[in-house]
């Protein structure tokens, strides 16, 4: 069982479905409502936990009902929380409007307590990070905090993974801290300025990321699978009808980190991540859609 530390954010997703967005000052009736756990860091930790990894998450929460949801979500997935509670703020939340006619969405995210992440939080958890096999983070918390976590892990000789989402400009000194970087097509384009739609596009973008200082880029490409620099494409698995793709990237990252923490090769880890993501998209939701180890192993051996 590998040891993983995830630095990341929890957000309570509140999803509203209606025929259209209301105009300012207007009230309309919606078609449905759903409340569930979200946030990239949280989703990735849950994915790894359900796969059997020994995973801890460093995060910031308020002292409220959404914080209780976070703790319950992590407990159910065997994720150990290392939480800084800020009673003067609130746990992050997202308003998600879904157009019932087109499926398009509009999102407002209020990070709340997570906006107060600081490098002091990393210093307080340096021993935890140094004791892991894999350290993984994203860009939903301040970039300087993600960088500080990567620095601690790199100094301790641990495997470092950066999921650069949401996409943001990054300096070379951050890229050089990454053993692996895992953008999707859109994020890879934002980082390199190159359109990424095919395997050949992914190869060029991965080479550009290596030129920026990354050791090994992995570009996730939805139903096509994932491109691993120096290896090529690993196809996605055809498990069944796609229900929801939200959280597929988080599922991949959780599976990828789990496999690496167990000593699997990058090629094996990408395949493990693709299997994890392929199962997750056949179910609604994000954290609730993450598969078990038994399900992933069955798919890989089938």
Percentage helix, strand, coil, to 5, in the chain?
40, 25, 35
Contact of 229 with 261, CB cutoff 8 Å: no
Coil, strand, or helix at residue 84?
strand
Assess whether 13 carries a catalytic annotation. Answer: no
* pLDDT for 180: 98
Ordered structural domains, the chain, with CATH: 3-9+39-90+117-301 (3.40.1190.20)
**Prediction pTM value:** 0.94
Q: What is the largest CA-CA distance in the chain?
A: 56
- CB burial string 266-280: b at 16+ within 10 A, e below: bebbbbbbbbbbbbb
Angle subtended by helix axes 185-192 and 199-211, to nearest 10? 40
Name the active-site residue from 64, 121, 201, 250. Answer: 250
Torsion of CA 266, 288, 46, 279, to 10 degrees: -10
pLDDT at position 242:
86
The angle that helices 65-76 and 40-50 make with each other, rounded to 10 degrees, is 30
**What is the mean pLDDT of the segment spanning 235-260?**
93
Burial pattern 144-174, b for ≥16 Cβ within 10 A else e, equals: ebbbbbbbbbbeeebbbbbbbbeeeebeeeb
With bands split at pLDDT 50, 70 and 90, how would you rate the model's confidence at 243? confident
How much is the pLDDT for 100?
84
124, 175, 116: which is closest to 150 by C-alpha? 175
**Three-state secondary-structure class, residue 201:** helix
Strands 232-234, 226-228: pairing is antiparallel
Question: Per-residue pLDDT for 167 more than 80?
Answer: yes
Q: CA 257 to CA 6: how far, in whole Å?
A: 10
Predicted confidence (pLDDT) per residue in 77-135, tens digit: 999 999 999 999 999 998 988 888 887 778 888 989 999 999 999 999 999 999 999 99
What average pLDDT is seen over the chain? 95
pLDDT band at 300 (very low <50, low <70, confident <90, very high): very high
Q: Is the pLDDT of residue 244 over 90?
A: no
């Amino acid at each position: 069982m590998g040891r993983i530390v995830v630095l990341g954010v929890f957000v309570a997703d509140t999803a509203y479905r209606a025929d259209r967005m209301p105009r300012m000052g207007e009230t309309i009736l919606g078609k449905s409502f759903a409340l569930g756990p979200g946030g990239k860091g949280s989703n990735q930790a849950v994915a790894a936990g359900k796969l059997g990894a020994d995973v801890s998450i460093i995060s910031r929460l308020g002292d409220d009902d959404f914080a209780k949801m976070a703790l319950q979500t992590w407990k159910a997935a065997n994720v150990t929380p290392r939480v800084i509670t800020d009673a003067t703020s609130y746990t992050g939340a997202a308003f998600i409007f879904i157009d019932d006619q087109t499926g398009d969405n509009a999102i407002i995210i209020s990070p709340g307590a997570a906006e107060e992440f600081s490098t002091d939080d990393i210093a307080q958890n340096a021993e935890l990070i140094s004791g892991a096999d894999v350290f993984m983070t994203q860009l939903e918390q301040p970039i300087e905090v993600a960088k500080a976590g990567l620095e601690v892990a790199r100094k301790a000789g641990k495997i470092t993974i950066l999921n650069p989402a949401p996409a943001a400009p990054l300096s070379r000194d951050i890229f050089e801290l990454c053993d692996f970087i895992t953008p999707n097509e859109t994020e890879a384009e934002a980082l390199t300025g190159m359109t990424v739609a095919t395997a050949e596009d992914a190869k060029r973008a991965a080479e550009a990321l290596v030129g920026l200082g990354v050791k090994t880029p992995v570009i996730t490409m939805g139903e096509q699978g994932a491109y691993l620099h120096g290896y090529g494409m690993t196809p996605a698995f055809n498990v069944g009808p796609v229900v929801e793709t939200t959280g597929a990237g988080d599922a991949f990252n959780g599976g990828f980190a789990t496999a690496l923490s167990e000593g699997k090769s990058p090629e094996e880890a990408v395949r493990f991540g693709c299997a994890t993501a392929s199962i997750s998209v056949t179910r609604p939701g994000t954290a609730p859609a993450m598969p078990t180890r038994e399900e992933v192993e069955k798919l890989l051996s089938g």
